[in-house]
Every structure is written in structure tokens, then in C-alpha cells.
């Protein structure tokens, strides 16, 4: 194998010019966003809120429906079916649904655009 001495590697690295930092914050100030970036950020937040709310409602309601235990995935495993139909597991899934709804609406309420004046 070709082994490069570490001293040669250090010299090579020190001779290279430093690359620009990709950090958007320069001197404590962030670079201005374009309108496309701002709208993409808004759409992503809206999508996050929608997905959190939809998954939360699904996790809140589905464990108490008959489809939760009467499906073809659980018919082959009676032990797993009895575990899933336990009230604690159903309550745990519903609690995760409530938490998911809370996270979605918290993101919606606490969203704000950073307006920068030039």
C-alpha cells in the first residue's frame, strides 16, 4: 500500500488555500433570504404542520377502531395481536398522537419570518 507520511500531508494541507465558510451567519448577521427561499421555508413548515396533524389524528383514533386488531398482518400472530389490543398499548399510541398534534400546532403558532431591512 502507498503510505503518505503525516508530515507530507500536513505540509500539503497547509499550502492549500482556505475554502470559504459555508456558514450563512457572518459576523452575527445572517445573509438575506430570497423570496423563493422564504416561500419554500413557508411551504415546508405548512407541510410539517399538516403531516404532524394528520399522523396525530390517525394515531389518536386508529388504536380504538376494530381495524387496529382485525387486519391480515396480525392474524398470523396471536401473541402480537393480544399485545396490540392491550389497553396500555392503545393508550400509548393515542398519547403519541396527541403529542404529534401538539408538535404540529406548536410549530404553526411559533413560526415567524425573519424580516431583514437593507
Is residue 22 a part of any domain in this protein?
no
Is residue 17 a part of any domain in this protein?
no
Is residue 52 a part of any domain in this protein?
yes
Tell me the average pLDDT of the chain.
Answer: 80
Report the SS3 class of residue 25: strand
pLDDT at 58 over 90: yes
Is residue 20 a part of any domain in this protein?
no
pLDDT band at 88 (very low <50, low <70, confident <90, very high): very high
* Phi then psi dihedrals of residue 26, to 5 deg: -120, 115
Torsion region of 27: left, alpha or beta (phi above 0 gives left; psi -120 to 50 gives alpha): left
Query: What pLDDT shows up at residue 20?
Result: 44
Query: What pLDDT shows up at residue 49?
Result: 94
Residue 110: domain span: 34-118
Torsion region of 14: left, alpha or beta (phi above 0 gives left; psi -120 to 50 gives alpha): alpha
Q: How many domains does the chain contain in total?
A: 1
Show the cell assigned to 15.
499550502
Residues 109 and 15: their CA atoms lie apart, in Å, by 50
Query: What pLDDT shows up at residue 22?
Result: 46
CA 44 to chain centre: 11
Per-residue pLDDT reduced to its tens digit, 18-36: 444 444 555 555 556 688 8
* Per-residue H/E/C for 28-41: CEECCCCHHHHHHH
Amino acid at each position: 500500500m502507498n503510505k503518505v507520511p503525516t508530515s507530507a500531508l500536513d505540509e500539503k494541507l497547509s499550502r492549500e488555500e482556505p475554502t470559504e465558510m459555508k456558514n450563512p451567519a457572518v459576523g452575527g448577521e445572517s445573509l438575506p433570504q430570497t423570496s423563493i427561499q422564504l416561500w419554500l421555508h413557508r411551504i415546508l413548515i405548512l407541510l410539517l404542520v399538516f403531516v404532524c396533524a394528520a399522523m396525530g389524528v390517525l394515531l389518536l383514533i386508529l388504536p380504538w377502531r376494530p381495524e387496529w386488531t382485525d387486519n391480515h398482518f396480525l392474524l398470523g400472530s396471536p401473541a402480537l395481536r393480544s399485545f396490540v389490543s392491550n389497553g396500555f398499548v392503545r393508550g400509548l399510541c393515542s398519547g403519541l398522537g396527541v403529542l404529534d398534534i401538539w408538535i404540529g400546532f406548536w410549530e404553526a403558532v411559533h413560526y415567524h419570518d425573519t424580516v431583514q431591512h437593507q
